[in-house]
Structure 1
Amino acid sequence: MGITPADLLDIRPAAPTFAEYIPVVRARVASQATLRTYNTHWKRLEHEWGTRRIHEPTQGEITTMRDTARQSAKRDRNTRDGRGAAEAMISALRFLYRHAENDGLIRPGDNPATRVAKPRRAPSTRRGLPLEQIAEITRVAATTGNDPDLDTLLLRLHAETACRRGGALGLRPDDLDEGNCLIFLREKGKKSRWQPVSPTLMANLLHHARERGARPGDQLLRYHSGKPITRRRYDGLWTRIGLELSWVEKQQISIHWLRHTTLKWVERNFGFAVARAYAGHAESKSDGATPTYVRADIDEVALALATLTGEPHPLALVT
């Protein structure tokens, strides 16, 4: 019958309700970005399934919850028919049930979230921008708003390093290696790396930290008041640019487009291996063993940066 003695002795505590267990799981999320993504869907679960025990929902009910998240997602040019919301709902449920398995509240075979598929991702609409458009964006940032120095520093930081928003927000004064013109980035998936920057950007980051009172261990990027910036600074910046440049608003251009722009240029001029290292992308098992042997080193990334900015870099490999 497929029943083992261990199964007969497997006496588990009563499963908690969603209202009881979600706060426990919420407290275990290490990444604030992940918490923001999952919390939207956990709040929906607390509202709609709060009194139900976590083992009660069926595969069909979870499928319905996924589809409801997709249908109710905010619609703009970048949502791609709510697929991201549906994917995040399933990810939030899988995270919750994975912890329930680890806590001994359900058996792995009783996990309904693993049997509901995530929607297939649609191709991104983001692309690299031409130099003329980058110049227009920079002009607006430098001539509008209440803190042009901060906004132009943000644009240069992302354009030079191709870092993600989380990497910039996580930057601290002690992450700056002035002598080697390197900054230490911490990005999604808990991946970290030293990234070359130009002497000009390094000088601007150091000046910004001193002027706005960022101490070691503190967030580096700050308002005039000394208060650390948040993701809202980016939202306000691109809303303001969109009011001046209609094509920015129509295409829903954001800071991540600068990452596409820089990495496309690096790949075209220095090859895939250097672009991968520049982006901080991890090697995939599906790529086979070759990337292990052709991995680009930091001196090659520094050379790409030096060519991009037109400034010498102390680590650039001269060929």
Structure 2
Amino acid sequence: MPYARGLAEYLELCEQESVDPTRATRAHVALHVRELGSRPSRRGVNVVALDSGAGLSNATIQQRLVSVRMFYDFLVEEGLRQDNPVGRGRYTPGPRGGGQRRGLVRRLVKLPWIPSDQQWRRVLAVAADEPVRTRLMLALAYDAALRREELCSLRTDDLDPGRRLVRVRAETTNSRRERVVPYSAATGVLLTQYLVHRATVSRARGGLFLSESRRNFAQPLSLWTSSKVVRRIAVEAGVERFSTHTTRHLCLTDLARMGWEVHAIATFAGHRHTDSAMRYIHLSARDLAERFARGMEQIHAQRVALLSAGAEGAGGRR
């Protein structure tokens, strides 16, 4: 577990520094952050970006700090400490009386990675030779922008083949909000094929995607197995950044490219707020491209008009 690992690493540092974790100060936590940000990278020493050659990524450091913060929250709750050395930021006065809270590590917000058209075709070429279960999982994950947990938790009664709708139950989502989203006709064909195959594994209602391994035969497919399958496809296709979440990112970006409004994208994705959906608008560069085109069209027209006026003036002088 990442959180357990994060706490274990912090406790190891305290042991190395001969510091009792229950009495550690903010300086000790800062030392831990410094170590996380400078430790040698497994990818080599050729640093071309902050998180490309040395140290953990910003998101990973944030995750490591969460486990340490929760540890001290527990100590404070139990009365073993008076304060939390990690904290949740400090107030910084703003120019108009407002302000912001800055954490121990400044959070960097990056756009999600999506494959190029060529990389996507390579993934699809490899997936074409996969069993129908794997092909259906990839198709549904893309069509309905499903997270890995949402996909693997689907049940047979969550699907409405007649209307080509899938229900994502609230307990399987991050926002704890249920939603119903459509899927394509091509995915519907794959679903029909898979249901015929699934009947040879089990006719019982329940989990849609079933394991066919000897150890867990006819049991719901685990998240770990799903990740392993996608990882194998990514490696074979030579697109190693492709993951179980990539199809969701790609779908939402494609919706933004097609002109969907941010509120519609947020509803489709199951986001509580539009801020998360805005990433895909930015990633698609739809608004920027449209504004750029409109702006350039106006500038172009003005420049041509000036040239035309210049030509008429020159003709009159002749």
Band the TM-score falls in, shorter-chain normalisation: 0.5 to 0.7
Paired residue type of 1:113 = V
Per the alignment, residue 218 of structure 2 pairs with 226
Per the alignment, residue 118 of structure 1 pairs with 105
Whether 2:231 is the aligned partner of 1:238: answer yes
Whether 2:159 is the aligned partner of 1:176: answer yes
Whether 2:133 is the aligned partner of 1:150: answer yes
Q: Write the distance in 2 (CA, Å) between the matches of 1:273 and 1:103.
A: 43
* Superposition CA RMSD, Å: 3.6
Q: Name the CA shift for 1:286/1:38 in 2 (closer, same or farther; >3 Å).
A: closer
Q: Write the distance in 1 (CA, Å) between the matches of 2:208 and 2:72.
A: 34
Q: Name the CA shift for 1:208/1:189 in 2 (closer, same or farther; >3 Å).
A: farther
Answer whether contact 2:24 2:85 (CA < 8 A) is retained.
yes
Per the alignment, residue 167 of structure 1 pairs with 150
Larger Rg: 2
Per the alignment, residue 35 of structure 2 pairs with 68
Per the alignment, residue 92 of structure 1 pairs with 67
Q: Name the CA shift for 1:87/1:202 in 2 (closer, same or farther; >3 Å).
A: same
Answer whether contact 1:162 1:262 (CA < 8 A) is retained.
yes
- What is the Cα deviation at residue 167 of structure 1? 1.8
- What is the Cα deviation at residue 153 of structure 1? 1.8
- What is the Cα deviation at residue 111 of structure 1? 0.9
Q: Name the CA shift for 1:121/1:213 in 2 (closer, same or farther; >3 Å).
A: farther
CA deviations on 1:121-166 (whole Å, 9 max, x unpaired) are 2523613542x543331221222xxx52232122112111111222
- What is the Cα deviation at residue 211 of structure 1? 4.0
- What is the Cα deviation at residue 87 of structure 1? 0.9
Greater mean alpha carbon deviation, residues 73-82 or residues 63-72: 73-82
- What is the Cα deviation at residue 73 of structure 1? 7.4
Q: Write the distance in 2 (CA, Å) between the matches of 1:210 and 1:221.
A: 10
1:1-319 equivalences under 5 Å are 36-49=1-14, 54-72=21-39, 75=42, 82=56, 83-107=58-82, 110-114=83-87, 117-124=104-111, 126-127=113-114, 129-130=116-117, 133-143=119-129, 148-178=131-161, 180=163, 181-185=165-169, 186-188=172-174, 190-198=176-184, 199-200=188-189, 202-203=191-192, 206-207=195-196, 209-213=198-202, 215-216=204-205, 218=207, 220-223=209-212, 225-227=217-219, 228-243=221-236, 245-246=237-238, 248-249=239-240, 252-269=241-258, 270-283=260-273
CA deviations on 1:227-286 (whole Å, 9 max, x unpaired) are 52333442443344433x33x13xx22232222221122122222222121211112699
Q: Name the CA shift for 1:176/1:52 in 2 (closer, same or farther; >3 Å).
A: farther
Q: Name the CA shift for 1:68/1:196 in 2 (closer, same or farther; >3 Å).
A: same
Q: Name the CA shift for 1:282/1:216 in 2 (closer, same or farther; >3 Å).
A: same
Q: Write the distance in 2 (CA, Å) between the matches of 1:73 and 1:171.
A: 41
Q: Name the CA shift for 1:156/1:284 in 2 (closer, same or farther; >3 Å).
A: closer
CA deviations on 1:97-142 (whole Å, 9 max, x unpaired) are 33334444434xx111115513422523613542x54333122122
Answer whether contact 1:167 1:187 (CA < 8 A) is retained.
yes
- What is the Cα deviation at residue 41 of structure 1? 0.9
Answer whether contact 2:135 2:190 (CA < 8 A) is retained.
no
Q: Write the distance in 2 (CA, Å) between the matches of 1:133 and 1:285.
A: 28
Q: Write the distance in 2 (CA, Å) between the matches of 1:266 and 1:96.
A: 41
Q: Name the CA shift for 1:284/1:159 in 2 (closer, same or farther; >3 Å).
A: closer
Q: Name the CA shift for 1:268/1:168 in 2 (closer, same or farther; >3 Å).
A: same
Q: Write the distance in 2 (CA, Å) between the matches of 1:105 and 1:214.
A: 55
Paired residue type of 2:168 = F
- What is the Cα deviation at residue 175 of structure 1? 3.2
Q: Secondary structure at the match of 1:188?
A: coil
Per the alignment, residue 291 of structure 2 pairs with none
Greater mean alpha carbon deviation, residues 37-46 or residues 169-178: 169-178
